[in-house]
Amino acid sequence: MAGSPYASALGRFKALQPTLLPSDAYPPLVRAKDLSEILKLLEPTPYGPEIAQAGATYQGAAAVEVAVNRLFVHRQRLLLESASFAGKPLIEAYLRRWDIENIGLVLSAKSEGRPVSETETFLVSSREIPAGLFAGAMGLDDFRALLALPNAEAVTTQLVRFGYGAVLLPLLDAYSKSRDIFPLLAALQRQYYERVLDAAKFFQGDEWVIREFLRSEIDLKNVLLLLKGKAASLPVEVVLERFLDGGELARDRVADLYNVRDIPELVAQLEGRFPALQYGLERYAEEKSLVPFEIALTRERTVRELKRLRSFPLSISILFTFLTLAELERADLRKIIYGKLYGIAPDELERSLVIPRS
Over the stretch 62-104, which tens digit does the pLDDT of each residue have?
888 888 888 888 888 888 887 777 788 888 889 888 888 888 8
State the Cα–Cα distance between residues 70 and 123, nearest whole angstrom.
Answer: 10
pLDDT at 123: 52
The reported pTM is 0.87
Q: What is the pLDDT of residue 80?
A: 81
- Between CA 106 and CA 90 the distance in angstroms is 26
Helix, strand, or coil (residue 129) = strand
Decide if 23 contacts 353 (C-beta within 8 A). Answer: no
pLDDT of residue 131: 40
Using only C-alpha atoms, the chain has a radius of gyration, in whole angstroms, of 21
The answer to whether residues 303 and 355 touch, using CB atoms and an 8 Å cutoff, is: no
CA distance 244 to 192: 10
What pLDDT sits at residue 4? 66
Long-range contacts of 257-261 (CB under 8 A, 24+ apart): 257/226, 258/226, 258/229, 258/230, 260/230
Residue type, 196: V
Contact 144, 119 (CB under 8 A): no
- Coil, strand or helix at 126: strand
Give the pLDDT score at 130: 41
pLDDT of residue 315: 82
Within 10 A of 206 (CB to CB), how many other CB atoms are there?
16
Overall residue count recorded for the chain in this entry: 358
Pick out the chain residues at pLDDT < 50.
1-2, 125-135, 358
Integer Cα distance of 33 and 47 in angstroms: 19
- Residues 60 and 142: their CA atoms lie apart, in Å, by 26
Which has the closest alpha carbon to 216: 186, 256, 246?
A: 246
**pLDDT score recorded for residue 356:** 57
